[in-house]
Amino acid sequence: MLTLYAVPASLYCAKTRLCLRAKSLVWREVLPVGGYGSAEYAAQVPGGNLPALEHEGMLLSDSEAISEYLEERFPQPAMLPAGIQDRARIRSCSRFHDTRLEPAVRTLFDQVDPSGRDPERVALSRDAVVLRLDQFGQLPRHGPLMHGHGLTLADCGFPITLTVLRVLDDVMALNLIWPGAISNYYGAVRDNPFVAAELETYRPAIRAWAQRAAEL
């Protein structure tokens, strides 16, 4: 049995859920013991971060480590290409998501509430997001998705973060203009049935979070 520790509005939990869906796995989803940020959960998962996956007596955290574990433990359908260099490229793109794009988007989170918003910080965050979107548009992509037409490990984080960005843009009126390559990618990846299924539940969760934070 696979157990996913997750909360509905968490971006990295949605990324991991998408990987589970793409592998057609069955999993049980539970809230972190004692609640998000609790000492009980931190005692169970050092660092206290979400998501975490429990499987066959092992508890693993970090979405990237979890994805790679799922790929090795459940190799079909493959979510890494066959060639060594293509596999490396996909891993590199996925790391770009986790270490470049998403952290830039995350700097907007504490600015959603208009009562505590600092226009200078929003402008800096917006510039950082624009830079990362531009860089994302230049990543080597071999097909409409990161590699061909099927989902790879690198296609799990981007559709989630782009959806979060759309919601934030809407709530905070950021007026972002995406590079054409990103709009094309987002259109193509949302056509994937696993992405569509995940976004059907994730989009309302992140929208509700943003609207609550903005007190709309």
Nearer to ligand GSH, 39 or 124 (CB): 39
DSSP secondary structure letters along the chain: -EEEE--TT-HHHHHHHHHHHHTT--EEEEPPTTSTT-HHHHHHSTT--S-EEEETTEEEESHHHHHHHHHHHS-SS-SS-SSHHHHHHHHHHHHHIIIIIHHHHHTTGGG-SGGG--HHHHHHHHHHHHHHHHHHHHS--BSSSSBTTS--GGGTHHHHHHHHHHHHHHHHT------HHHHHHHHHHHTSHHHHHHHHHHHHHHHHHHHHHTT-
Number of residues that bind ligand GSH (CB under 6 A): 10
Nearer to ligand GSH, 105 or 146 (CB): 105
Binding mask 47-86 for ligand GSH (x = CB under 6 A): -xxx-----------xxx----------------------
Q: Rule CB under 6 A: is residue 12 a binding residue for ligand GSH?
A: yes
Nearer to ligand GSH, 42 or 122 (CB): 42
Q: Rule CB under 6 A: is residue 161 a binding residue for ligand GSH?
A: no
Nearer to ligand GSH, 10 or 152 (CB): 10
Site of interaction with ligand GSH (CB under 6 A): 10-12, 48-50, 62-64, 98
